């Protein structure tokens, strides 16, 4: 009609375009996570540190800044929890789980002292200089281990946080519990993970239901 001169302007210019939702965060399958966790060479102090960091990251769903900033006093192996100071200095207690506890015990026994080289520090996961590791350094470490594990997906430390949330939901965890563990102040931030979990359930249904 606009082209034929029947109307003066294009009425579609007044139509609001739909808002695009937030992109779904990248996640890893449980098999990919197992391959990534197994990638570091744990007979080496540096590799044992990295393995332990990956185990804690996946077990607790921490932000990378929370992980590299952990101190000895924040970890209670007897109670099996880690005290995390998140955004806005909000404090939360997150369970570690048996696997992470086991790796932490081994790391503290066999590797941390070698990394510190006699230097005093309360940093849980020190760098080779005995200082707190930077987020960028750990990002490079996890990229290296992902290459060793032959994981095709481009990953970052945040990918394991996404995997933590997605795998919990896939196994039936309550959304509000996941919200508390992640340290999200708003439930809507956590709800994005339900889309990934729902896609996984739909895939399982399609592959296993007789009428899928």
| pLDDT tens digit sequence for 129-175 | 899 999 999 999 999 999 999 997 778 777 877 888 887 877 777 66
To the query of whether residue 144 is one of the catalytic residues in this protein, the response is: no
Beta pairing partners, 75: 82
In the annotation, is 87 catalytic? yes
Catalytic hit among 51, 112, 162, 193: 193
Residue 162 to residue 17: CA distance in whole angstroms: 29
Is residue 142 within 8 A of residue 155, CB to CB? The reply is yes
Among this protein's residues, is 135 annotated catalytic?
no
- Residue 63 designated active-site: yes
Quick check: is 158 catalytic? yes
Given this model, what pLDDT does residue 181 score? 67
Query: Annotated catalytic, 161?
Result: yes
Q: CATH number of the domain at 30-148+155-204, please?
A: 1.10.443.10
8 A C-beta contact, residue 161 and residue 61: yes
Residue-wise pLDDT for 83-128, tens only, equals 988 676 677 888 898 999 999 999 999 999 999 999 999 999 999 8
In the numeric block, which tokens belong to residue 3?
A: 């082209």
Residue 20 pLDDT:
42
Residues 6+ apart with CB under 8 A from 70: 56, 82, 123, 124, 125
Contacts by residues 75-82 (CB-CB < 8 Å, ≥ 24 positions apart): 75/104, 75/124, 77/101, 77/104, 77/105, 82/56
DSSP state of 125: S
The one catalytic residue in 49, 161, 162, 167 is 161
Q: Which candidate in 87, 109, 176, 198 is catalytic?
A: 87
Whole-angstrom Cα distance, residue 48 to residue 139? 16
**pLDDT tens digits, one per residue of 12-45:** 444 444 444 455 556 788 899 999 999 999 999 9
| 166 to 52, 86, 105, 124, 200: CA distances (angstroms) | 21, 20, 27, 27, 9
In eight-state DSSP terms, residue 40 is S
CB 25 within 8 A of CB 157: no
Alpha helices in 14-111 (DSSP H): 30-37, 45-60, 64-68, 98-110
């Amino acid at each position: 009609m606009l082209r034929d001169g029947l109307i003066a302007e294009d009425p579609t210019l007044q139509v609001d375009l739909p808002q695009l939702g937030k992109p779904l965060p990248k996640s890893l399958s449980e098999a990919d996570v197992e391959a990534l966790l197994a990638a570091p060479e744990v007979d080496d102090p540096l590799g044992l540190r990295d393995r332990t960091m990956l185990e804690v990251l996946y077990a607790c769903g921490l932000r990378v800044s929370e992980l590299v900033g952990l101190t000895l006093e924040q970890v209670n192996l007897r109670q099996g929890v880690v005290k995390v100071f998140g955004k806005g200095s909000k404090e939360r207690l997150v369970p570690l789980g048996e696997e992470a506890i086991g790796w932490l015990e081994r790391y503290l026994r066999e590797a941390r002292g070698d990394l510190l080289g006699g230097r005093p520090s309360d940093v849980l996961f020190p760098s080779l200089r005995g200082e707190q590791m930077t987020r960028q350094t750990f990002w490079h470490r996890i990229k290296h281990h992902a290459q060793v594990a032959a994981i095709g997906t481009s990953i970052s430390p945040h990918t394991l946080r996404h995997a933590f949330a997605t795998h919990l939901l896939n196994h039936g965890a309550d959304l509000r519990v996941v919200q508390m563990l992640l340290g999200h102040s708003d439930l809507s931030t956590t709800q994005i993970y339900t889309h990934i979990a729902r896609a996984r359930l739909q895939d399982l249904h399609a592959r296993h239901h007789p009428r899928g």
